[in-house]
Amino acid sequence: MATLIRSLSSLSRSSSKSSCLAARLGGARSLATESKSIRRTGLYDFHIENGAKMVPFAGYSMPLTYGDVGQVASHHHVRNEAGLFDVGHMVQTTFRGPTATAFLEHLTPSSLSSLPAYTSTLSVLVNPQGGIIDDTVITKHSSNAFYVVTNAGRRDEDLPWFTTQLEKWNSPEGPGGKEGPVEMEVMEDWGLIAIQGPQAASYLQSLTSYDLRELTFGKSAYVPIEGFNLHVARGGYTGEDGFEISIPPSHTVEVAKLLHKSPVQLAGLAARDSLRLEAGMCLYGNDLDESTSPVEAGLSWVIGKDRKETGGFIGADEVLRQLKEGPTRRRVGFIVEGAPARQGAKIFAPSSPEPIGTITSGIPSPTLSKNIAMGYVQSGHHKKGTQVEVEVRGKRQPAVVTPMPFIKPRYWRG
């Protein structure tokens, strides 16, 4: 999934240009999917009614922009007011059983045993070589029940992986067979909506008697919203305060219409991508893949303190080795002079003929009015302020290693 948004407003003027942007957002695989197999979220008709430009993304037909609202305008609206995103393409799954905590700690390096109830954590599924199968958000409801959200573009890899690992776990010789099995349920066709921005909380508060001030960043609860009892998690993918709301299939359209009122504006993939890159967040398939470890990706913080000592998760040998010895490359941010650096652009040390890394995501930042990017460089070139050069259209341009996030997050922490 690429992240490179070229001149935001102009790209959405025609369907062909929208498809080009979708290719950068969703990668060749999503566009190669035959039209007959393209899936739709429960809000497809809602998007069409609201003038959405629909494009293939991660196997789904998803809104890129709406009407004559360009990507930059939509981006700014979320930063300054509030935006509503359909993220129903994401895979929502529940795991239940006496050994559910141990099972998920087997698949991830997170410390889920000590995670409080109704608290979420970003995590990663790790393969035996220490690479990232997918990034995920895990919400603990109890020691026996978890709600897990994974990427739509990894559905065909994640679900078989879960199934295979469950079969081993629940076998007579496995922990589940001895101490209690784990059951997995994929929440097919459930809606998932993200309302993001500085006015998101005040608008949502007007629809519920629940005191949202108690729902701090990373917490979740079942919240009554105009007669609906919905799972609401405080967090998101933009760097702004906001919420992700899981909705039963029969109510998804009603809830979307309820939330789509001023100051909340519909926002699509184009704005979502530029917002997340300003917030320094990874997009799987571009900034993360199965050959990249959480240590290389700068995600060592998702590895629990106790897990760093005891391991016990798939891929632990390689991940713990990298923690001890250091990785050979690291994900870092850049401010780039001149033209924006796009995915795949080579990174060089000044005057060096050999590349030291590659850009994985890059855009002109609507908020900063600068070209920002992230990518991987050889260790030793990763420190803040390091001067590098990025090859754009055959010419090298100056760039400087810059801490991420590029903007200050505004999460509600109470």
Mean pLDDT of the chain: 92
Q: Give the pLDDT confidence score for residue 168 in this predicted structure.
A: 98
The phi, psi pair for 408, rounded to 5°, reads -80, 120
CA contacts within 13 A on the Cβ side of 173: 1
> Does residue 190 surpass a pLDDT of 90?
yes
Distances (CA, A) of 262 to 257, 259, 328, 339: 11, 9, 49, 36
Percent of the chain with pLDDT over 90: 91
> Does residue 52 surpass a pLDDT of 70?
yes
Binding residue numbers? 244
CA distance 101 to 113: 6
pLDDT band at residue 36 under the 50/70/90 scheme: low
Q: Give the pLDDT confidence score for residue 351 in this predicted structure.
A: 87
For the record, the structure tokens of 358 come out as 């590659």
For 195-201, what is the mean pLDDT? Answer: 98
> Does residue 184 surpass a pLDDT of 50?
yes
Render the burial of 354-382: b for 16+ CB within 10 Å, e for the rest.
Answer: ebbbbbbbbbbbbbeeebbbbbbbbeebb
Q: Give the pLDDT confidence score for residue 337 in this predicted structure.
A: 97
Determine which of 28-37, 84-93, 100-109, 263-272 has the lowest per-residue pLDDT on average: 28-37
CA distance 282 to 362: 12
Q: Give the pLDDT confidence score for residue 4 in this predicted structure.
A: 28
Q: Give the pLDDT confidence score for residue 25 in this predicted structure.
A: 58
* Residue pLDDT, tens place only, 335-388: 999 999 999 999 999 989 999 999 999 999 999 999 999 999 999 999 999 999
For 168-190, what is the mean pLDDT? Answer: 97
**What is the set of domains in the chain, with CATH numbers?**
39-88+190-279 (3.30.1360.120), 91-170 (3.30.70.1400), 328-402 (2.40.30.110)
For 319-333, what is the mean pLDDT? Answer: 98
For 98-126, what is the mean pLDDT? Answer: 98
For 141-146, what is the mean pLDDT? Answer: 97
Binding residue numbers for substrate? 244
> Does residue 14 surpass a pLDDT of 60?
no
For the record, the structure tokens of 371 come out as 């070209």
> Does residue 322 surpass a pLDDT of 70?
yes
For 163-171, what is the mean pLDDT? Answer: 98
For 110-129, what is the mean pLDDT? Answer: 98
> Does residue 7 surpass a pLDDT of 90?
no
For 54-65, what is the mean pLDDT? Answer: 97
> Does residue 15 surpass a pLDDT of 60?
no
Q: Give the pLDDT confidence score for residue 37 in this predicted structure.
A: 85
Q: Give the pLDDT confidence score for residue 21 in this predicted structure.
A: 52
* Residue pLDDT, tens place only, 269-318: 999 999 999 999 999 999 999 999 999 999 999 999 999 999 999 999 99
* Residue pLDDT, tens place only, 237-257: 999 999 999 999 999 999 999
Q: Give the pLDDT confidence score for residue 48 in this predicted structure.
A: 98
